[in-house]
Amino acid sequence: MKDWTFCPRCGDRTRLAGDGEEAHVECPACGFTKYDNPLPTTVGLILDGDRMLLLRRAHEPRKGSWDTVGGFLSGAESAEENLVREGLEEIGCELVNLRFAGSYSSIYGDTGLKTIGLAFTCELPPDAEIVLSEENSEYAWFPLDDRPPLAFADCEAAATALTSRTGSA
């Protein structure tokens, strides 16, 4: 929040107000107020039996770490629409059988951006052929109970909760 030095509406200096969960930036000149609300993202837990598909990130933040399909919501799309779009963009496949699995908070790498990941279990169609975008350098299927750590706290928490529910841990 401290980065909001100037008001995006009128250009006047802003000030920090409140504390803890109520901390926000406000503009004394025009009344603009900005709370530190999390940005919504999706987490796609793509399953094939007791295996999960993971992607290795080709870019920062967390370059080289394993991740799930997903991303930031844009415009007026629903979380489900976002996840289907991200599946097509990142692996060239439609995601099917989406089932909500929970919501998990996180921070996007070292950016300080707070996020709230809306996690879904999902599958690939039987005839799917994975074609990676430039966002990822490789993919692999991992057993639910023997996977590497994931790039972001929301993905890790969602995968851990899934493993706990399935009894694979």
Q: Residues 140-161: pLDDT tens digits?
A: 999 999 999 999 999 999 999 9
- Same domain as 90, residue 31: no
Residues 97 and 114 grouped into a single domain: yes
Is residue 22 domain-shared with residue 101, that is, in the same domain?
Answer: no
Q: What is the chain's mean pLDDT, rounded?
A: 94
Q: 9-47: per-residue pLDDT in tens? A: 999 999 999 888 788 999 999 999 999 899 999 999 999
Q: DSSP assignment, residue 45?
A: E
Number of domains the chain is built from: 2
Read off the amino acid at residue 91: I
pLDDT digits over 82-120, tens only? Answer: 999 999 999 999 999 999 999 999 999 888 889 999 999
Note whether 23 and 60 are same-domain residues.
no
Nearest partner of 24 among 37, 11, 13, judged by Cα? 37
How far is C-alpha 130 from the chain's CA centre? 20
Banded pLDDT at 169 (limits 50, 70, 90): very low
- Positive or negative: CA dihedral 160, 165, 168, 169: positive
Tell me the residue range of the domain where 149 lies: 39-166
